[in-house]
Chains A and B, each alone.
Chain A
């Protein structure tokens, strides 16, 4: 079966886009071919620096004819109807139609229509230009006088079907059967018959079409070079992906650097090599440290064996590393502590003030969090104070990726060698963690305190200025910050009263924002920062008040929460409450999403999250216990019983037009089954109380699951809707109690099934 070969030849495609482009081309071509009625036998796509290529195997010479039967009117239908039928079916005479007899409907006409298939090149000539015009490049451009958009100027389109050119034109570029190879090592244009011919000629013209092959070649050659000199290549998949998109034919060369550079921090050397220069880093297996060599992947097979290339690259690298050394020496002249005041000139965010402002907030918050994570308060505050100081260093100015890492080095150099200083230094580095899902969380308590403080401050700050993540964007990486908080707390495994820390953090941010804006409003009064704990506490009180009180109409001044506060402070209490609850909901939503990703069923999460709680560890324990008990027979059956009870309650409450309430009167319980349930409920309640106090959710769930038998018995033997209103009321009260007890651990009505 014939083959179709397509090559889109352009100027250099950005390395990071090539892989995806080949995948997109495959998908678009496959979709379009399928839609046009083809069933391609196979398709492969390739990407190299200057080309996107697709080869489709097993295409027919034309698409199959499509046959269709069109039913017409009855034979005795009016002439108009028959004429209409002829027109619609494209017939000239009714004799061209068949007559079909049907016992019920009588005789009617049927036209046999044949939609002839298309020649494959014709179909391809429609499909390919369309794909080119609508190709999903992340960024595309125009060039010259044309209107076509491509990632960089598109020069040629090779389109060959069954050894013949598929003729079409896109914005002045006509399809052809020519290609060319390597820019510097090729031999000019060549004609192409089919893929086999193409690959062979490309290879002769120094282009390795398959990116995996280029990658493998780079890796193998680099390892060979290293082995020959008893060195070890440090694998770097990300860099490999990038450099294989920068070369048509890789030529791996080893360059040498002055060994005296090795006294720079290894992170600095590695970053300079890989980010600025795209070199692979080499290790000396004897020392375990970096070796004074590097691996260049050149696109050119130089006539001098690459000597000039290696030398040139070594010179560029030396200039870069000299810069780095200059920064390293300069930075070490000032201690981190002396840099802290400079943070006031560094903007964190236009509305949220300087990094210095942020550091002052983190210091206070880290002091609040420290006892909860088992950290020394003074150490946590000191580490927080220094955490961002390296942002003013030249090295971090040059390599922002090294924030924290450099701070640690500078602190180790200047702060002395005792263990307490190492803890501070490590915390400076680790407080940014976890940076991504695969990054580790800080495990040392001081680092944890600073990491949590930094993240909570970022979250509350951006929420306070209305910069919340949206479906499409999260420019301040708040989801990542929330996940960081969740992972650190889960890893710690201890309870952290999230609400109170969030309220404290929010109070700091909102007071700062308030004091900032009053500069422009002469009438307003600034609020003393010493009031942070007080206003935070009042905001917490306010939430409690709202939760416990039936009427919320009372103004804040009247309810005690606002006692002794100025009007503006009262306003602020409400603002703090609004923001910290919002941030808390945001964090808990991230927790729910990550638990779902871990495999917990959505309805289990729904049921567990319905219980108001702000403690990450406790919520996870509750979810885990609930999922576990639902897997037991008792648990699963109990859900059915609880749901049945809830349904009855709902129906009766609707009938009464009021919520069922009141206590159960034990003396009115007549049936053994209802007495049984009542006794069991009291016992289970006591057990659960104890278990919950000890945070033992498995035990609490177990106590609840033990209600299964009495609940089943109750529904089998007792009619709730008794004629005697008092008895009915008492039984409803029993169901209310059952619901209340079960809701201590989860909202079972949210569970599916049962």
Chain B
């Protein structure tokens, strides 16, 4: 919803007054996969939710990106968020990002935990003043009516030391379940974010489980035509868990880590932050695989994390340098 501007009275003299009151749209602004499902008396499918979120955020001026093609542990690490949060240029993007957390794999036996899952990620830079209202409207569009459910903004300070990033915001609870994270980025790579980006992360499986009312992630209706989440991903979870916990080759992973780290350093030396960042992400994922395999001693762990952090932060700093107006002119 657009901020309501108040023109009357003495206020017009000063500024625009943003109203934060939530008002449910009288009718869906346009037809979406979710609105079609809801109108037909069905629950939206997993992909309905994704498609509707993309439709919604496209209307807010976001570029709709596809997932980044390198393994990441969280949607935030997509360069469209981590790197684009730096520098002065405005930016709006939304995308689905598969997140790989090898250690969280449970061989497909746990109804809530996955080694591979989806996040829906939105970044708006600078954050518009009505970002909370935009977010609530997105929930409304996928079938969560904030006047029927208890939606709360619960304090959550976000921090990702591996990229030197932190921000303040909330976890968003819907009837006691955390369905999203909402963050105002303050720093990335140890550098101040100016302007500040607003970042939204929807936990898609959880959100869909909530919307569909299912207790087990593998029971999610994926497409509304009889394909379940389990049909798509259960076997993957089993095999990947076996790989993560039993079959990965620690010696090889360590070797690859060192190679990736070297490549990252080299690319940073050549002042190529974008490919360098890819290799920093590879370092991060290789470390996660080693960690899941249980072969990282506590002391080693600290040093691995520090090494990934140094590379990722270095990339962020380098990227920020290419984003300042002075640099652009020089180029």
Chain A residues proximal to chain B, CB less than 8 Å:
11-12, 14-16, 49-50, 139, 141-145, 151-153, 155-156, 165, 167, 169, 172-178, 180-181, 183-189, 191, 246, 277-279, 296, 298-300, 302-304, 308-309, 311-313, 315-319, 322-323, 345-347, 350, 354
Tell me if B's interface is mostly helix, strand, loop or mixed: loop
What is the distance, in angstroms, from A296's C-beta to the closest C-beta of chain B?
Answer: 7
Contact between B112 and A316, CB atoms less than 8 A apart = no
Known: A165-B10, A180-B19, A315-B215. Contact between A16 and B155, CB under 8 A?
yes
Which partner residue on chain A sits nearest B153 by CB separation? A12
Contact between B149 and A300, CB atoms less than 8 A apart = yes
- B residues 20-73 touching A (CB-CB < 8 Å): 20-23
Using Cβ atoms and an 8 Å threshold, which residues of chain B touch A12?
152-153, 155, 170
Using Cβ atoms and an 8 Å threshold, which residues of chain A touch B149?
300, 302, 308-309, 312
Contact between B21 and A350, CB atoms less than 8 A apart = no
Size class of the B contact interface (CB-based, 8 Å): 35 or more
Does B186 reach chain A (CB closer than 8 Å)?
Answer: yes
Does B147 reach chain A (CB closer than 8 Å)?
Answer: yes
Contact between B195 and A11, CB atoms less than 8 A apart = no
Contact between B167 and A141, CB atoms less than 8 A apart = yes
Using Cβ atoms and an 8 Å threshold, which residues of chain A touch B152?
12, 246, 299
Contact between B17 and A178, CB atoms less than 8 A apart = yes
Contact between A300 and B126, CB atoms less than 8 A apart = no
Tell me the complex Cα distance, A174–B13, Å. 9
Using Cβ atoms and an 8 Å threshold, which residues of chain A touch B203?
none
Contact between B195 and A144, CB atoms less than 8 A apart = yes
Highest count of chain B CB atoms <10 Å: which of A191, A279, A302: A302
Contact between B210 and A312, CB atoms less than 8 A apart = yes
Among candidates A11, A184, A350, residue contacting B153 with C-beta atoms closer than 8 Å? A11
Using Cβ atoms and an 8 Å threshold, which residues of chain B touch A156?
17-18
What is the distance, in angstroms, from A278's C-beta to the closest C-beta of chain B?
Answer: 8
Contact between A144 and B10, CB atoms less than 8 A apart = no
Highest count of chain A CB atoms <10 Å: which of B20, B23, B213, B298: B20
Does B150 reach chain A (CB closer than 8 Å)?
Answer: yes
Contact between A173 and B15, CB atoms less than 8 A apart = yes
Using Cβ atoms and an 8 Å threshold, which residues of chain B touch A173?
15
Known: A143-B127, A144-B129. Contact between A316 and B177, CB under 8 A?
yes
Using Cβ atoms and an 8 Å threshold, which residues of chain B touch A350?
298-299, 302
Contact between A180 and B215, CB atoms less than 8 A apart = no
Contact between B129 and A186, CB atoms less than 8 A apart = no
Contact between A183 and B21, CB atoms less than 8 A apart = yes
Contact between A296 and B21, CB atoms less than 8 A apart = no
Which partner residue on chain B sits nearest A172 by CB separation? B15
What is the distance, in angstroms, from B112's C-beta to the closest C-beta of chain A?
Answer: 6
Does B123 reach chain A (CB closer than 8 Å)?
Answer: no
Does B148 reach chain A (CB closer than 8 Å)?
Answer: yes
Known: A175-B14, A277-B176. Contact between A304 and B186, CB under 8 A?
no
Known: A139-B168, A184-B22, A319-B215. Contact between A178 and B6, CB under 8 A?
yes
Does B188 reach chain A (CB closer than 8 Å)?
Answer: no
Contact between B147 and A300, CB atoms less than 8 A apart = yes
> Can you give 7 contacting A-B residue pairs, CB < 8 Å?
A143-B198, A144-B126, A169-B15, A176-B11, A180-B19, A300-B151, A312-B175
Contact between A139 and B176, CB atoms less than 8 A apart = no
Does B4 reach chain A (CB closer than 8 Å)?
Answer: yes
What is the distance, in angstroms, from A539's C-beta to the closest C-beta of chain B?
Answer: 30
Q: Which 5 A-B pairs have the closest CB atoms?
A: A312-B175, A174-B14, A14-B155, A12-B153, A347-B298
What is the distance, in angstroms, from A528's C-beta to the closest C-beta of chain B?
Answer: 25
Tell me the complex Cα distance, A315–B111, Å. 13
Tell me the complex Cα distance, A143–B195, Å. 7
Using Cβ atoms and an 8 Å threshold, which residues of chain A touch B213?
315
Does B246 reach chain A (CB closer than 8 Å)?
Answer: no
Tell me the complex Cα distance, A697–B167, Å. 60
Q: Mark B160-175, 1 if CB is under 8 A from A, else 0.
A: 0000000111100011
Contact between A296 and B167, CB atoms less than 8 A apart = no
Which partner residue on chain B sits nearest A348 by CB separation? B298
- B residues 131-171 touching A (CB-CB < 8 Å): 132, 146-155, 157, 167-170
Q: 9 additional contacts, CB 8 Å, given A188-B23, A315-B213?
A: A178-B17, A183-B22, A184-B146, A185-B147, A189-B6, A309-B148, A309-B175, A312-B150, A350-B302
Using Cβ atoms and an 8 Å threshold, which residues of chain B touch A316?
175-177
Contact between A298 and B19, CB atoms less than 8 A apart = no
Contact between B21 and A186, CB atoms less than 8 A apart = yes
What is the distance, in angstroms, from B276's C-beta to the closest C-beta of chain A?
Answer: 28
Tell me the complex Cα distance, A302–B149, Å. 7
Among candidates A144, A177, A180, A312, residue contacting B21 with C-beta atoms closer than 8 Å? A180
Among candidates B6, B15, B148, residue contacting A308 with C-beta atoms closer than 8 Å? B148
What is the distance, in angstroms, from B140's C-beta to the closest C-beta of chain A?
Answer: 11
Contact between B195 and A180, CB atoms less than 8 A apart = no
Contact between A176 and B177, CB atoms less than 8 A apart = no
Does B318 reach chain A (CB closer than 8 Å)?
Answer: no
Using Cβ atoms and an 8 Å threshold, which residues of chain A touch B287?
none
Known: A142-B186, A178-B11. Contact between A304 and B215, CB under 8 A?
no
Highest count of chain A CB atoms <10 Å: which of B21, B132, B157: B21
What is the distance, in angstroms, from B245's C-beta to the closest C-beta of chain A?
Answer: 16
Contact between A184 and B6, CB atoms less than 8 A apart = no
Using Cβ atoms and an 8 Å threshold, which residues of chain A touch B20?
11, 50, 155, 180, 183
Contact between A174 and B175, CB atoms less than 8 A apart = no
What is the distance, in angstroms, from B169's C-beta to the closest C-beta of chain A?
Answer: 8
Tell me the complex Cα distance, A354–B299, Å. 11
Tell me the complex Cα distance, A145–B325, Å. 16
Does B107 reach chain A (CB closer than 8 Å)?
Answer: no
Does B184 reach chain A (CB closer than 8 Å)?
Answer: yes
Which partner residue on chain B sits nearest A178 by CB separation? B17
Which partner residue on chain A sits nearest B216 by CB separation? A319
Q: Mark B283-321, 1 if CB is under 8 A from A, else 0.
A: 000000000000001110010000000000000000000
Which partner residue on chain B sits nearest A188 by CB separation? B21
Known: A139-B168, A312-B175. Contact between A153 and B19, CB under 8 A?
no
Contact between B175 and A313, CB atoms less than 8 A apart = yes
Tell me the complex Cα distance, A710–B278, Å. 90
